[in-house]
Amino acid sequence: MNPEQFDQELKKHNFELTQEQKEQFKIYFTKLVTANEHVNLTRITEEEDVYLKHFFDSLTPLFTFKKVFVEGATLCDVGAGAGFPSIPLKILMPGLKVTIVDSLAKRLTFLKDLIAKLNLSDVNLVHGRAEDVGQNKLYREKFDLVTARAVANMTVLSEYCLPLVKKDGYFVALKGPKAEDELENSKKALQVLGGKLIDEEELTLPDTNEERTLVLVKKVKLTPKKYPRQAGTPRRKPIK
Ligand SMILES: C[S@@+](CC[C@H](N)C(=O)[O-])C[C@H]1O[C@@H](n2cnc3c(N)ncnc32)[C@H](O)[C@@H]1O
């Protein structure tokens, strides 16, 4: 998907990019591939792949779960790495108030520079593990939306993300193909952590066979204080 095809695809979803937004994606692409020569950020570096597999892919929740993406909402992106999905979402919806949590300082250094170059406001960077951030009063149960792509399986991810979601807010997981087993295995964790599975949508990226699954979980109850457990425990001893 080249930048023109990207514009066309977004139009199909009723998003007409301004000149400024087109420029922001262009700068994002350039900075990503340049920085990637020194810091390990992505394996995807061809322009058409970056526009499809990073930019468009990051925006699919916005097209699929429209009603939960409200201008002015607070969004926390857990394990955003080089900014996916939150930075493309922020470019398209400038009113979002974004917090990015990642445990790797080098990636946050890249993001700090990127945010300045893209002239984005209301993007807060937090260096830390989701398990610790989820126990920090500043962040716990403070977000309308929490997103994560390619960070952990659904059970572990739920323990990272749900503690950060406000009651009645949403957790959106961007998953690959065939996520049913993962989802089935996470049922207990969702229930324990106060989540309720609302929707699960399968889609294919335009003009490809690239399959994705988007999962929408609503926080229906507060998360018990003991979660998230100590850093490393969710992965070592997933909730069963
Ligand atoms: C495979 S990358 C995915 C990055 C991005 N979400 C994407 O889709 O391109 C996983 C990221 O999650 C971060 N990460 C993994 N476990 C984490 C944890 N427990 N807390 C915070 N960040 C974590 C890593 O540092 C890394 O940047």
Residue 122: domain span: 3-236
Mutate to test the pocket of ligand 1, among 54, 106, 151 (most ligand atoms within 8 A of CB): 151
The confidence band for 117, taking pLDDT boundaries of 50, 70 and 90, is very high
The yes-or-no verdict on residue 11 having pLDDT over 90 is: yes
Predicted confidence at residue 236, as pLDDT, reads 98
Question: To the nearest whole percent, how much of the chain has pLDDT over 70?
Answer: 100
Q: Which atom of ligand 1 is nearest to the CA of 83?
A: 5
How far apart CA 194 and CA 219 sit, in angstroms, is 6
Average pLDDT score, the chain: 97
Count of domains forming the chain:
1
CA separation for the pair 182, 190 (Å, rounded): 12
Average pLDDT (15-23) is 98
pLDDT reported for residue 177 = 94
Residue 178 has pLDDT above 90, yes or no: no
Helix (H) or strand (E) holding 155: helix 154-161
Per-residue pLDDT at 197 exceeds 90: yes
CATH number at residue 221: 3.40.50.150
Q: Which residues pair with 171 in a beta bridge?
A: 146, 217
Ligand 1 shell residues, CB under 6 Å = 79-82, 84, 101-104, 107, 129-131, 149-151, 160
Would you place residue 4 in the very low, low, confident or very high pLDDT band (cuts 50, 70, 90)? very high
| Residue of 102, 114, 153 with the most ligand 1 atoms within 8 Å of its CB, for mutation | 102
Four-CA torsion 92, 94, 97, 100, nearest 10 degrees: 50
pLDDT at 6: 98
Half-sphere exposure in the Cβ direction for 83 (13 Å, CA): 25
- CA angle 108/112/114 to nearest 5° reads 110
Cα separation of 192 and 239, whole Å? 8
Asked if residue 189 belongs to a known ligand binding site, the reply is no
List, for residues 128-141, the tens digit of each pLDDT value. Answer: 999 999 999 999 99
Residue with the smallest CA separation from ligand 1 atom 9 is 84
Average pLDDT over residues 80-106: 98
pLDDT, one tens digit per residue, over 139-158 is 999 999 999 999 999 999 99
Question: Whole-angstrom Cα distance, residue 229 to residue 131?
Answer: 6
CB atoms within 10 A of CB 101: 26
How many angstroms is it from 14 CA to the middle of ligand 1? 30
Give me the percent of the chain exceeding a pLDDT of 90.
100
Q: pLDDT tens for residues 44-62?
A: 999 999 999 999 999 999 9
Pair 161, 146: CB distance under 8 Å: yes
